[in-house]
Amino acid sequence: MNFGILGSGSWGTALAKILTDNGQTIYWLNRSENVIQQIMLRRHNPHYLSGAYFDTKQLQLTTDASEVIKNSDCIIIAIPSVYVETTLKVLDRNIFAGKKIISAVKGILPDQTLLLNDYLKNKFDVELENYFTLLGPCHAEEVAAEKLSYLTFSGIDELTTTHIAKYFKTDYLNTIENTDIYGVQYAAVLKNIYAVGAGMAHGLDYGDNFLSVLIANSADEMAGFLKMAGIKNVEVGHTVKRENNYAASVYLGDLLVTCYSLYSRNRTFGNMIGKGYSVKSAHVEMSMVAEGYNASKGIYLLNQTIKADMPIAETIYQILWEGFSVMEGFGKIESLLV
CATH number of the structural domain spanning residue 229:
1.10.1040.10
Q: Tell me, yes or no, whether 208 and 330 share the same domain.
A: yes
Secondary-structure breakdown of the chain: helix, strand, coil percentages, each rounded to the nearest 5: 50, 15, 35
Distance CA 320, CA 324 (A): 7
The whole-angstrom distance between residue 224's C-alpha and the CA centroid of its chain comes to 20
% of the chain surpassing 90 pLDDT: 83
Mean per-residue pLDDT over the chain, rounded: 92
Q: Tell me, yes or no, whether 21 and 163 share the same domain.
A: yes
Q: Tell me, yes or no, whether 100 and 65 share the same domain.
A: yes
Q: What H or E segment, with its residue span, contains residue 40?
A: helix 33-42
| Cα angle: 72, vertex 73, 76; to 5 degrees | 75
Q: Quote the pLDDT of residue 27.
A: 97
Is residue 172 pLDDT above 60, yes or no?
yes
Distance CA 133, CA 77 (A): 10
Q: Tell me, yes or no, whether 295 and 313 share the same domain.
A: yes
Q: Which residues partner with 29 through β-bridges?
A: 6, 62
Strand intervals (E) in the chain = 3-6, 26-29, 59-62, 74-77, 100-103, 131-135, 149-154, 173-178, 233-235, 238-240
Q: Tell me, yes or no, whether 131 and 215 share the same domain.
A: no
Domain stop point among 179, 208, 226: 179
222 pLDDT band, cuts 50/70/90, is very high
Helix axes 208-229, 181-203, angle to 10 degrees: 150
Q: Tell me, yes or no, whether 172 and 239 share the same domain.
A: no
Distance CA 111, CA 19 (A): 32
Spell out the residues 6+ positions from residue 276 whose beta carbon is closer than 8 angstroms to its own. 203
111 pLDDT band, cuts 50/70/90, is confident
Domain stop point among 141, 156, 179: 179
Distance CA 123, CA 256 (A): 34
Helices (H) and strands (E) in the chain, counts: 15, 10
The whole-angstrom distance between residue 130's C-alpha and the CA centroid of its chain comes to 19
Q: Tell me, yes or no, whether 139 and 200 share the same domain.
A: no
C-beta atoms surrounding 263 within 10 Å: 14
Bigger pLDDT: 22 vs 233:
22
Spell out the residues 6+ positions from residue 232 whose beta carbon is closer than 8 angstroms to its own. 181, 182, 239, 240
**Least confident segment among 37-51, 161-175, 182-196, 212-226:** 37-51
Domain stop point among 162, 179, 196: 179
Q: Quote the pLDDT of residue 241.
A: 56
Q: Tell me, yes or no, whether 170 and 188 share the same domain.
A: no
Q: Tell me, yes or no, whether 107 and 187 share the same domain.
A: no
Cβ proximity of 332 and 323 under 8 Å: no
Is residue 23 pLDDT above 90, yes or no?
yes
Number of domains making up the chain: 2
232 pLDDT band, cuts 50/70/90, is low
Phi and psi angles of residue 198, each rounded to the nearest 5 degrees, phi first: -65, -40
Mean pLDDT over 183-187 rounds to 94
306 pLDDT band, cuts 50/70/90, is very high
Radius of gyration of the chain (CA): 19
Is residue 242 pLDDT above 70, yes or no?
no
Distance CA 177, CA 58 (A): 27
Distance CA 116, CA 113 (A): 10
Indicate the SS3 state at residue 146. Answer: coil
Mean pLDDT over 199-219 rounds to 97
DSSP codes of every residue in 232-270:
-EEETTEEE-----TTSIIIIIHHHHHHH-TT-HHHHHH
Helix axes 291-306, 181-203, angle to 10 degrees: 120
Q: Read off the CATH number of the domain in which 41 is found.
A: 3.40.50.720
Mean pLDDT over 264-285 rounds to 92
> What is the domain extent for residue 259?
182-334
| Nearest CA among 234, 106, 212, 77 for reference residue 158 | 234
Q: Tell me, yes or no, whether 86 and 223 share the same domain.
A: no
Q: Tell me, yes or no, whether 122 and 193 share the same domain.
A: no
Q: Quote the pLDDT of residue 330.
A: 97
Q: Quote the pLDDT of residue 229.
A: 86
Indicate the SS3 state at residue 29. Answer: strand
Is residue 327 pLDDT above 50, yes or no?
yes
Mean pLDDT over 138-158 rounds to 93
Q: Tell me, yes or no, whether 163 and 306 share the same domain.
A: no
% of the chain surpassing 70 pLDDT: 96
